Amino acid sequence: MISQLRPDPIMVLGTSSGAGKSLITAAICRVLLRKGEDPLPFKGQNMSNNAWVDQSGGEMAYSQAVQAWAAGLEPKCAMNPVLLKPKGDHTSELIHMGKSVGIARAESYYEDWFLSGWSAIRNGLNELRQSHQRGRFVLEGAGSPVEVNLQRRDLTNLRLATFLRARCLLVADIERGGVFAQVIGTLALMQPFERSLIRGLLINRFRGRPELFEEGRSWLEKETGIPVLGVMPWLKENFPPEDSLDLLERKSQKPHAEIEIAVIKLPSLSNFSDLDPLEAEPSVQLRWVEAGDQLGLPDAVLIPGSKQTISDLAKLFSSGLADQIKTFAYGGGSIFGICGGMQMLGRSLWDPLALEGAESKAASRELKGLDLLPLKTVFDCDKSLLRQQVILSWPSLTSVAGFELHHGKTEPVNGSEGIIEPISNNSSIGWVVKDKSNAIIAGTYLHGIFENGSWRRLWLNLIREKKGFYALPIDEQNHSQRREEIIDLLADSFEEHIDLTPILDL
């Protein structure tokens, strides 16, 4: 067994999925960093298509990358050693220590992958322990820790807490209602030795004055014998989304927004964190459009990444949304695609090995794309996973950073010379079409491209120019600086309302 780290690990458990564990974990990391500690964020197993690529080319969940930044660290895939990326047909791509190891089926996941998953988790713990001798693990659980049908095979909640003898904080989301039943029910389903690990309760997302919950706080402490460490208020800031539902539920209306960007809500949406920097732009209003919706007359259309490009593209065609997007382009509209979105903008896609799932198993021919960029994509077993620092020549000469995370190789079709041009000195990063109709059609494989403040503003200025608006300043900070400010705001509120003393070492 791994020797216990000192100081003792802290673990954030939740009474349900979406209770706010990811952001509470990030807040604790930043608070401990301020106290002079070396916090080590860790989530044994995560299920998400919102991924990050670390410096070594390993995949990890974006939420653990945010927690690493909160801890003042460079993200490492050891912080999320098991990542499940849903493919939409009761299967998931399985990532162990940053590398793809196979396809997991829901009905046989624990039978097939439990032992290797637990081994990956221990390897991640060991790697972090060796590189941070005095670090304190700040662990995040997954979903509810007491799903009785899964509890004995659970990789990342109470098994990990027991293994490390972690001091656990149980988070309940009062916004959902039924907070007392959440807490009491969760504790009742724990074994006595598991319950003894719970050192504090935290009530999250409370609207109104915290003193209005004093009676409820006293009742919880009396009934459970566990201190309520505080009541975290509802915060209005747009924090990095924990999952795509968080992002889609945002209803922010910007009264001073000058341009509207329609974002295509793909069924297998991935890497939705690419949109955070645009969401933070005061002059930009994002509007989600899914199959069955009317595209309307936005100022631009953005097609984000997809875990299942071919099936998502088929949905666009069957719903009629593809025709609306093409009509928008033919009318001089501006369209930008990222990764799978760029692949969809191409002329054809070919999946000879059926890597894209059931919809393409019978595909022995090239499938039709939106044909707005003269590109051909062929999916193969090789997966591009690398960080990039490149010079973009479009819209203007700019240095940008980001990462590639995709199957498939894309190249211009024969005879496309003079129609499109690469947007970078790296000719496989992306392309833009030269269109005399005033359309601006472009795409890139570079995730995180909008994080680059100057490039983001250059792209927005192309759209603004078409509307006759003045250009925004391009000496804009990168979104990473804004993210730091938001994490600090989160930690400030946490320090004001939550007392960690009962779970910190004395």
264 and 191 in a common domain:
no
Q: What is the mean pLDDT of residues 472-491?
A: 94
Do 222 and 292 share a structural domain?
no
What is the spatial distance between Cα 409 and Cα 380, in angstroms, rounded to a whole number? 8
pLDDT at residue 241, as a whole number: 62
Question: Please, what is the Cα angle at 271 between 269 and 277, to 5 degrees?
Answer: 115
206 in the same domain as 71: yes
First to last CA, the chain: 25
The mean pLDDT of 488-497, rounded to a whole number, is 96
404 located within any domain: yes
Q: 141 or 414: whose pLDDT is higher? A: 141
Out of 131-135, 301-305, 351-355, 424-428, which region has the weakest mean confidence (pLDDT)?
351-355
Residue 208 identity (one-letter amino acid): G
Q: Which domain holds residue 384?
A: 244-482
Confidence of residue 14 (pLDDT cuts 50, 70, 90): very high
Of 1-15, 113-127, 198-212, 321-335, which range is least confident?
Answer: 1-15
The model's confidence at residue 432, banded by pLDDT at 50, 70 and 90, is: very high
pTM: 0.94
Per-residue pLDDT, 3: 44
What's the angle, vertex CA 335, arms to CA 332 and CA 338, rounded to 5?
Answer: 165
- CATH code, domain carrying 139: 3.40.50.300
The proportion of the chain whose per-residue pLDDT surpasses 90, expressed as a percent, equals: 81
**288 lies in the same domain as 395:** yes
Q: In terms of domains, do 298 and 400 share one?
A: yes
Token reading at 222: 């009396």
Q: Domain ends where: 234, 252, 268?
A: 234
With bands split at pLDDT 50, 70 and 90, how would you rate the model's confidence at 5?
A: very low
Residues 150 and 258 in one domain: no
Q: What are 356's two structure tokens?
A: 């894209």
Helix 21-34 to helix 479-497 angle (10° resolution) is 90
Confidence band for 2, pLDDT divided at 50, 70 and 90: very low
Same domain, 256 and 162: no
What's the pLDDT score for residue 134?
92
Judged by phi (left if over 0) then psi (alpha if -120 to 50, else beta), residue 205 lies in left
How confident is the prediction for the chain on average, in pLDDT?
Answer: 92
Q: What pLDDT does residue 246 have?
A: 56
**Do 162 and 250 have their domain in common?**
no
Q: Above 60 in pLDDT, residue 300?
A: yes
d(CA 79, CA 223): 35
- The DSSP code for 193 is H
Q: What is the mean pLDDT of residues 478-500?
A: 95
What is the model's pLDDT at position 331? Answer: 92
**Are 214 and 259 in the same domain?**
no
**What is the pLDDT at residue 89?**
79
Rounded to an integer, the average pLDDT of 288-316 is: 96
In the residue annotation, 256 being an active-site residue is answered as: no
Catalytic, out of 77, 339, 406, 407 = 339
Domain boundary among 234, 257, 275: 234
- Assess whether 339 carries a catalytic annotation: yes
Report the alpha-carbon distance of residue 255 to residue 73 in Å, rounded: 37
111-147 pLDDT per residue, tens: 999 999 999 999 999 999 999 999 999 999 999 999 9
Per-position DSSP letters for 130-170, written without gaps between them: HH-TT-EEEEE--S-TT-TTTGGG-SSSHHHHHHHT-EEEE
pLDDT at 416: 84
503 is a domain residue: no
pLDDT band at 249 (very low <50, low <70, confident <90, very high): low
Average pLDDT over residues 419-437: 88
Let me know if residue 478 belongs to a domain. yes
In a domain, residue 496? The reply is no
Q: How far is CA 114 from CA 103, 118, 153, 330, in A?
A: 14, 6, 7, 51
In this structure, the answer to whether residues 220 and 268 fall within a common structural domain is: no
* Domain count along the chain: 2
3-state SS, residue 137: strand
**Integer CA distances (angstroms), 219 to 83, 224, 228, 231, 502, in order:** 38, 8, 10, 14, 18
Structure confidence at residue 10 (pLDDT): 98
**Tokens found for residue 335:** 């369209």
More confident residue, 419 or 370: 370
Report residue 55's pLDDT band, with 50, 70 and 90 as the boundaries. very high
Q: Give per-residue pLDDT as tens, 166-224.
A: 999 999 999 988 999 999 999 999 999 999 999 999 999 999 888 889 999 999 999 99
Active-site entry in 96, 407, 447, 479: 447
Confidence of residue 247 (pLDDT cuts 50, 70, 90): low
Query: What is d(CA 303, CA 264) in angstroms, rounded to the nearest whole number?
Result: 5
Q: Is residue 505 part of a domain?
A: no
Position 338 scores a pLDDT of 98
229, 342: one domain: no
Q: Which amino acid is at 14?
A: G
Q: What percent of the chain has pLDDT over 70?
A: 93
Q: Report d(CA 428, CA 401) in Å as an integer.
A: 15
Considering only CA atoms, which of 66, 8, 23 is closest in space to residue 202?
23
Same domain, 24 and 167: yes
C-alpha closest to that of 433 among 334, 350, 302, 343: 334
Does 445 or 149 have the greater pLDDT score? 445
Euclidean distance between CA atoms 14 and 205, whole angstroms = 13
Query: Is 506 domain-assigned?
Result: no
pLDDT per residue over 200-214, tens digit each? 999 999 998 888 899
Of 64-78, 433-447, 469-483, least confident by mean pLDDT is 433-447
- Position 170 scores a pLDDT of 98
Of 186, 211, 234, the residue at which a domain comes to its end is: 234
pLDDT for the residue numbered 439: 83
Is residue 504 domain-resident? Answer: no
**Domain holding 395: CATH number?**
3.40.50.880
pLDDT in tens, 350-359: 998 877 754 5
CA 506 to chain centre: 35
Token pair, residue 487, equals 């994490």
Task: State the average pLDDT over residues 458-476.
Answer: 96
Residue 203 included in any domain:
yes
